Structure 1
C-alpha cells in the first residue's frame, strides 16, 4: 500500500465527550479505536478526510486492552486493505509513523523511532516511540516502514516530551479472533478473564464470575441544553450523533454551509456559519449590503475576508416560554446560511468559504 493511501484509512471519531482517531480494517469490515476514546457512548460519528460523517456503532470493547471495535454505516469496499505486522516485528531504532487527528485538527502523520518495542507500563507492555503523540491521536494506527499496523496509539503519560505509546499489535489481534461471534447490532463487552462476549448489562461475567468494570454498560446522559440543541438539529434533518463535536458543541453541514452550535464561556449559546469569503476586488457593493440590511434575529460579521452569519442567545433566556422561538431561530439560521452563501456568490462575486461543501 502506498503511504499516500494511509489517509484514506484513518478517520476521526467524534461524540459529545470530544474526539479521537480510528482506522479501518477491510478484512474485518470494522474500525479500530481505543476503548477510552468511546467510553460512555454506544454510538459515535466517524469522519473521513472529506469531512463526510458516518454513523458508527460501538460493537465490542475490551477495557483491559483499551481497544474498541466499531461497525460503521457505509460502503468502504473501495478502500485499500491494511495489514497487521507480526507480533515481534519492531526493534529499537526502527522507524514508525503515527497517524491521526491531534486535538481534533485535520489529519496528520508524524514520524519517529522506536524507543522501546516492549515497554512495561502499569503491568502491560507497550510500544514506546519518540514520534509526536497528542490528545486526539488516541485510537489511530502506528505504522512501520512497510505501512503495516504495529500498534494502536494511546497516551499513557501526560507532560512527557518525546514519549508516545502504542498498544502492541498482538493485543489487537487477540481481540480480532472473536470478530465472528460479534453481534454488529449490539454493544458487547469482552471479559478480560475468560474472553466471553457479554451483551446484557451485568455486574459480573456470567461465564466465569469476574467482576466487570463499574458502569461499563452505561451511556453518558446528555445535558438539558444538549437535548434542546439536538431537537433543533434533528428538525434541520441532521442526525445529532453525526453533528456532535465535544461537550455542548456541534458542527455539521446543512446544504453547502457549515453550521457550528456551541456554548461560549458558559454564558451564551451561539450558532455560527462561515458562509463566504469577500471578493478580492470590488467589495463596496457587498459591504453596503451587509451594513444596510436588517438580518434580525441574525447578525452578519466579517473577520479578515471571512463572512459569518451568527445567532446568539443568553443561556438564562432559554426558558419554557421562549424555547420554541429560539429553536425556530436555530433551525432557520441553518436554512438562511445555505441560501445566502449561493446568493453572495451569484450576486456579489463572493467566494464560498473554505468550510463549505459545494459543487464547483
Structure 2
C-alpha cells in the first residue's frame, strides 16, 4: 500500500489538536484520541478538528508525562476505516509513514524507513525513523505499509536531518489497557512511582502514593489564564458572543468567522494589535472602479480601513495595546465583524471580485 493510498484510507482518523501553546496531531484508536502529553500542554481541555469533526472543545481524560502520552475524549461517528495498533515486530528497514499537521500544513504524509527499530532513550524504547517529521507532527501516528499504527511520533533531534522518534505501539497498547482498567477518567500517571492517580484524589498537586510533585496536576488545576492586553482582548471577544476557546489560535492570535468573512486578530510583540478581515481578491477587470469604491468608503469609516496587499482586499482594525479599552475595542471589533461580511458580499456581487478559498482545516 503506497503512502497516498494509506493517507486517503485513514485520513478521517487524523485529528488536529490546538492549545494556546501550539498545535499538534492526534489519531483515533477505538473510543480514544491518542496524542502526546506535551501536545496537550497540561490542559484539561483542548480544541480538536478533523475532516469528520467540526472544530470543537474536547476533554483530556488521561495525561502521562512518563510515556509522553495523553488521551482525549470526544464524540465522533464510527469511521469507515478505523486505525488499529499493530501487533507485528518492527524491524530495521521497514517502511514507515508519518501523518500529521507539520507547521499547520494539514494532513501531510511523509514516507521513510525504520532506521533503528529499538533505540533506547531515557529508559524507554523508541522507533528511530528517517521520515520527515516537524513541529505539528507530534502525537500523530506512525504507520507501517499495511496501514497499522506502529508508533506515536514523539520528538525529533533539532538541527538534524530527518532524525525522528516514535513511541512504539506496545507502550500505547499497555497504556490503553491500564487506563481502561481504572474504569474512570481524569487520570494522571505519576512519572516517579508510575501509578495511575485519579485527579480527584490528588491534594496540593502531590502524588498520594509517593509524594512527588505532579506538575501536570498543577497545570490542569490552573488551566490557561491570559493576562494584560491578551486578557482584555478575550473579554471583548466574549462580549461579542465569540467562543474564545474555539477562536484562540495561540496566546496572542484569534480567528473569527462571521458570515462569508474571516477575521484574524493578532497581538504582536511590538504591542500592536491588528484585526484583519481578508475579504476577496482583485479581478483582472474594473480594478479602477474597485479602487475608487474602497477609497470613498475609507473616508466614511471610523476605526477601520481598507487596504490591498498584493491582490487581496483587507478591512482592518489597528491599535496599540496601551490604547486598547474594553468599550472602544468592542465597538471596533463589532464593526469589523459586521462590515467585513457586508463588504465581502458587495465586492463579490457588485464588483466581481474573486471569492477566497479556505483550507480544509477550519470547517
**Do the two structures share a fold, i.e. TM-score over 0.5?**
yes
Aligned residues: 347
Q: CA RMSD of the aligned region, Å?
A: 2.2
> Shift in Å at residue 242 of structure 1?
1.2
Give the SS at the match of 1:216: helix
Distance in 2 (alpha carbons) for counterparts of 1:246 and 1:176: 30
Give the SS at the match of 2:215: coil
Residues 62, 68 of structure 1: 8 Å contact kept: yes
2:126 counterpart residue number:
126
Distance in 1 (alpha carbons) for counterparts of 2:114 and 2:231: 45
Distance in 1 (alpha carbons) for counterparts of 2:184 and 2:238: 28
2:316 counterpart residue number:
310
Distance in 2 (alpha carbons) for counterparts of 1:341 and 1:79: 38
> Shift in Å at residue 183 of structure 1?
4.1
Distance in 1 (alpha carbons) for counterparts of 2:213 and 2:174: 19
Q: TM-score, length-normalised on structure 1?
A: 0.89
1:339 matched to 2:342? The reply is: yes
1:188 counterpart residue number:
187
Structure 2 unaligned regions, length at least 5? none
Superimposed CA distance per residue, residues 267-325 of structure 1 (whole angstroms, 9 cap, x where no aligned partner): 2011111111112322222221112212321111112221111111001112xxx3211
> Shift in Å at residue 50 of structure 1?
8.3
> Shift in Å at residue 128 of structure 1?
0.4
Distance in 1 (alpha carbons) for counterparts of 2:359 and 2:13: 23
1:330 counterpart residue number:
333
Give the SS at the match of 2:250: coil
Give the SS at the match of 2:134: coil
Superimposed CA distance per residue, residues 199-233 of structure 1 (whole angstroms, 9 cap, x where no aligned partner): 12434433x32524335332233223232222232
User: Structure 1's 226 and 291: CA in aligned 2 closer, same or farther, altered over 3 A?
Assistant: same
Equivalences for 1:1-360 in 2 at 5 Å?
3=6, 4-25=8-29, 27-28=30-31, 30-49=32-51, 52-72=54-74, 74-78=75-79, 80-86=81-87, 88-177=88-177, 178-179=179-180, 181=182, 183-184=184-185, 187-192=186-191, 193=193, 195-200=195-200, 201-202=202-203, 203-206=205-208, 208-209=209-210, 211-214=212-215, 216-218=217-219, 219-294=223-298, 295-318=301-324, 322-355=325-358
Q: After the TM superposition, which segments of 4 or more aligned residues of structure 1 sit over 6 Å from their partners?
A: none
Is the helix fraction higher in 1 or 2? 2
Q: TM-score, length-normalised on structure 2?
A: 0.88
Residues 236, 326 of structure 2: 8 Å contact kept: no
